Amino acid sequence: MYEELLAKTADLERRLRRQEAKPTGPTLGEFYAQHLGLMELRGLWTMASVDESAAVYDLSGQGRTLTNNGPAFRAPYNDLIPYCDFTGTEYLSRPTESGLAITGALTFGGWYWLDSFGATDLGLSGKYTAAGNQRSYLLYTNPTLPEARLIVSSDGTAITQVNSGVALSTGAWNFLVGRFTPPTELAIFANGTKTVNTTSIPASIFSSSAAFILMGFDGAGHRDGRASLNFLSAYNQSDALIDYLFQRGRVLFGV
């Protein structure tokens, strides 16, 4: 009986070691599916589906293909996660249309690798052009403070902003998400940390003529870095869901 107990104990230890060796994150298919299940999804760009012109396809099923201006180089991170690599001149864009001109509840963002913070404000994603006062919504970084910021405009001119206050890392992946809940809250999530602004939040976002752009804004604020798994939704996704996407994705992105 003693030898049988030892054998069972050894077998249990082997099973536990196998469990410890398993990755704690989801498969890539599971991770994509989690994003496809977002409420009021308007676009999902995984950087995996790219055509012969280097255009990046929208996997939401709504056909919002992004033009690859440059084009930006594509590669897999750790032989697993597709991403686009930008050098400061390339960017992804799509002219404005009804599905992008979100004026109510909004959640958008994705995974970003920052090679540097540059000398000026540099865009991550959004629909924002100062010329002609065509500002709508924008996620971007500031050169002075290494943090992400979110802006929305109610009329194309006036802006409401929230600064994350979370120091971001260069040479590493960051999960950055902006959320607008009219007329109560503007929130930004940086690697699992939420920061909010609840002061004078507008009732709606201005429907501008600006193009939707990833890794740039305003025709000049293009950044040096990488982007992967970007999404846009016309819904105020919950804190719990945004944190869930971060916690599930961080293993895949090495965060």
What pLDDT, in 10s, does the model give residues 188-228?
A: 999 999 999 999 999 999 999 999 999 998 877 788 999 99
Pick the more confident residue, 180 or 23: 180
Strands in the chain per DSSP E? 41-45, 67-69, 73-77, 81-87, 91-94, 106-114, 122-129, 134-141, 148-152, 160-163, 173-181, 185-190, 193-197, 212-214, 224-233
23, 76, 95 from 11: Cα distances, Å: 21, 38, 60
Q: Which pLDDT does position 242 carry in this prediction?
A: 97
DSSP bridge pairs for 122: 141
pLDDT score of 157 more than 60: yes
Q: Residue 25: exposed, middle, or buried by beta-carbon count in 10 A (0-12, 13-18, 19+)?
A: middle
**C-alpha 125: how far from its chain's center?**
8
Average pLDDT over residues 132-148: 93
Reading phi first (left if > 0) and then psi (alpha if -120 to 50, else beta), residue 229 is in: left
> 250 by DSSP, 3-state: which?
helix
pTM: 0.88
Please, what are the domains in the chain? 28-253 (2.60.120.200)
What pLDDT, in 10s, does the model give residues 23-35?
A: 556 888 899 999 9
- Taking the CA atoms of residue 181, residue 186, residue 190 and residue 191 in that order, the dihedral angle to the nearest 10 degrees is -30
pLDDT score of 19 more than 60: no
> 220 by DSSP, 3-state: which?
coil
Q: Which pLDDT does position 18 carry in this prediction?
A: 42
What's the rounded Cα separation, in Å, for the pair 197 and 59? Answer: 32
What's the rounded Cα separation, in Å, for the pair 86 and 93? Answer: 13
How many CA atoms does the CB half-sphere of 61 hold within 13 Å? 7
What's the rounded Cα separation, in Å, for the pair 185 and 203? Answer: 10
Average pLDDT over residues 132-147: 93
- Taking the CA atoms of residue 253, residue 75, residue 231 and residue 141 in that order, the dihedral angle to the nearest 10 degrees is 70
